[in-house]
Structure 1
Amino acid sequence: LTMPTSWADLAKPEYKGEIIMPNPASSGTGYLQVTSLLLMGGIKEGKEDGWNYLKQLDKNIVEYTNSGSAPAKLASTGEVAIGISFGYRVAKQMSDGYPVKMVFPEEGAGYELEANCLLKGAKNPEAAKMFLDWAITENAMKAYSKYKMMVTREGIVSEATLPLPKAEDVKLAKMDFDWSAANKTELMEKWNALFVAKTTPL
């Protein structure tokens, strides 16, 4: 097989039966991937390009897994040629010596933001505040830097040794997290109606 470099490549007939990806109804990684494709396809402007692409991609999909890490793990052990997953998991498989390569699609890759917060009405707000204050300390950021490629405190350089590309070398999709959250039920109803046949049973 030719190494794919884009989402468009993955819809080509040569990859029929060679791809697995996460089920967006059970995996946050899968939902992120599907919403990024729908947004790139102009769904907010009333376009169906994203859904049409997913229908084409589905022709090549063997299975929609329940977890976001499963596709990377299965590809790394040779059970499938291509696993659509998330960068950290692929990098971990590579670091562990598995013969797998990481590709970020040319059109753009979806992404998520990680954050800590204090929920309104929390039972232990003072303890939560103490944790949040600690989470932005130099010591906490140094701990994060062993596992994350980027930390938000100035002057702390990541010590992570996983083979991830530099952030500026990856084209990111234009995400809309509010829209994705507000429309999840409707999107998953449509997704299930179209693609549920290939999902791993829960």
Structure 2
Amino acid sequence: MNLQALKTPRGCLTSIFIVLVVVGLFAVGVLRKEAELPVISLAAEEIPLPFSLPFYGNHIPNTLPSTFLTMAILILIGLAYNRAQRQEGPPSRFRVAVEAVAEGMLDFMENAVGENARIFFPLVATFFLFIAVSNWCGILPGFGSVGVLAPHHAEETAIAEHEVEHEEEAVAEHGEGEEHVEMELVPFFRSANAHLSTTLALAIVSVAAA
């Protein structure tokens, strides 16, 4: 960066303008008391079911369908590559693309690990592909936008003032004698990596495999 440009009148005015904008945005965020604070949740939303499932009951986390979708995509890619590998003649573009990705990951691991790269390659490559495909699925249309309406359950970690304000607004709008049930959209799909249990499961598998 050329520091001489900052010493010119135009550079000084630009720097002052940027500083004022940053300070102004910070002041607006601090002084805006009526802004609702976001509720931070590590747990996935629960999808209500019309029937009961073992270990889950009548609710399942919406990261579970995303996990099975990610696994299905990886399994289909593996089956398609196995079929392409058995075909005679010149390799197809799909086979070349898969082998290029695998060789690239293996070369990267050999540069980082050395001779033991082929030992850890299956585990590391599986983790990488699972996390990558799961994140890519999270940007597909329908993720986070298509779901069912379910009663909203306040998070235990929500700020008390935030809950009190909602209760006061509900009483003022619906009256004291009416019970206000707030509905929220529970999406069918949510990225599997958004759930803390996925990270914990990958950590347990990596430690057990090592």
Assess same fold via TM > 0.5.
no
Higher strand share: 2
Structure 1-normalised TM-score? 0.20
**Please, what TM-score do these two structures have when normalized by structure 2?**
0.20
User: Which structure has the greater CA radius of gyration?
Assistant: 2
More relative contact order in 1 or in 2 (CA 8 Å, sep 6+)?
2
Higher helix share: 2
